[in-house]
Amino acid sequence: MRLDGKWIDSFAEVFALCGVQRGEPCAILSETQSRPAIVELSELALARLGARWFHIVLPTPRLSAPVPVRSTGASDAIAGLEPVVQALAASGFVADCTVEGLQHAPELPRILAGGARVLAISNEHPEILERTAPRAEDEAPVRDAMRRLRAARQLQVSSAAGTGLEVSLADARVGGVWGFTARPGTLSHWPGGLVLAFPAAGSVSGVLVLDRGDVNLTFKRYLQDPVRLRIEHDHVVEIEGHHVDADLMRGYFEAWGDRSAYAVSHVGWGLNRRARWDAMTFYDKADFNGTELRAFAGNFLYSTGANEVAGRHTLGHFDLPLRRCTVRIDGEAVVREGVLA
């Protein structure tokens, strides 16, 4: 792939938002199956900013799961290798180019404890990253949504398709991503623009209806037919639907042989007005990771799988952005029928 100058510009601009300074030690973390264009663009952008950059390249681990693993945000490339953790923790800035990203990697807390600023760059075609590059003004609305979510006790989701979901926010961990981070000891990811809560155990119940046109990001697929999920004590206990979309979900859930794969990971909503719901139609699957669709403005995002707050760990993971939902926190609508309130 030819690397255009405009992509180097985008990477340099985003890294500058992350506070990269001339002479600052910066690590580029990748693995053997990382997208080469992202690794090279990170290097060229850091060089343009005058940083003192270096590469850490790890072998992509052997597959350990019974089915393909996609979009977990929990890279296992470091595999506890202590010299790598120490080098990243001692860096001022880390351009995370791993395939899955370090968001939920077990080594992340120690890396951040060293003061590193980590930007997980989604495994996308550079055109997607260029189009969704964060701006300084993206931070304020996400921070505002985080404040409101932290102050709330209950989140409710409804839709004309039949969704009726209740989420207790007691003891939930709230996070938000706006696509860059300049504060030591923090991580962000690009594309960004969403707010999330990781509920405590036993906090989620009700019905989630995935309607036509909603997205199963693990499969990189728009649903052709509705799928109804009944959720009790955080776990999907029934998958209703006699068609391919429902069969695919049943098969993937069952393949893990792990009850935690059926449980809620996080819930939240998208705030990025430049992200597009229809973006998946424009790219081949190999060029598209789908982070943009987690963040498009007004979506309700329901994800299953690992949730450290609830003490659940699994590689089984679904990211499910839904359109046309109404999201209320303590009775006040923050999204009305898929439109930011």
The total domain count for the chain is: 2
Of 121, 144, 163, the residue at which a domain comes to its end is 121
CA 197 to chain centre: 12
CA 67 to chain centre: 20
Of all residues in the chain, the percent with pLDDT exceeding 70 is 100
* Cα-trace Rg, the chain: 19
Residues 9-32 have pLDDT tens digits of: 999 999 999 999 999 999 999 999
pLDDT given for residue 65 in this prediction = 87
Same domain, 117 and 200: no
pLDDT given for residue 247 in this prediction = 98
Mean pLDDT of 292-313: 95
Q: Is residue 126 assigned to a domain?
A: no
Of 90, 121, 152, the residue at which a domain comes to its end is 121
Residues 251-278 have pLDDT tens digits of: 999 999 999 999 999 999 999 999 999 9
pTM of the full structure = 0.95
pLDDT given for residue 72 in this prediction = 84
pLDDT given for residue 149 in this prediction = 97
Same domain, 112 and 147: no
Mean pLDDT of 114-132: 97
Q: Which domain holds residue 271?
A: 136-340
Residues 192-220 have pLDDT tens digits of: 999 999 999 999 999 999 999 999 999 99
Mean pLDDT of 312-332: 95
Q: Is residue 128 assigned to a domain?
A: no
Mean pLDDT of 66-88: 92
Buried (b) or exposed (e) across 289-320, using 16+ Cβ within 10 A? Answer: bbbbbbbbbbbbbbbbbbbebbebebbbbbbb
Q: Is residue 315 assigned to a domain?
A: yes
pLDDT given for residue 160 in this prediction = 98
Residues 224-237 have pLDDT tens digits of: 999 999 999 999 99
Q: Is residue 130 assigned to a domain?
A: no
Write the DSSP symbol of residue 86.
Answer: H
Same domain, 152 and 276: yes
CATH number of the domain at 32, please: 3.40.50.2300
Same domain, 109 and 205: no
pLDDT given for residue 314 in this prediction = 87
Same domain, 216 and 323: yes
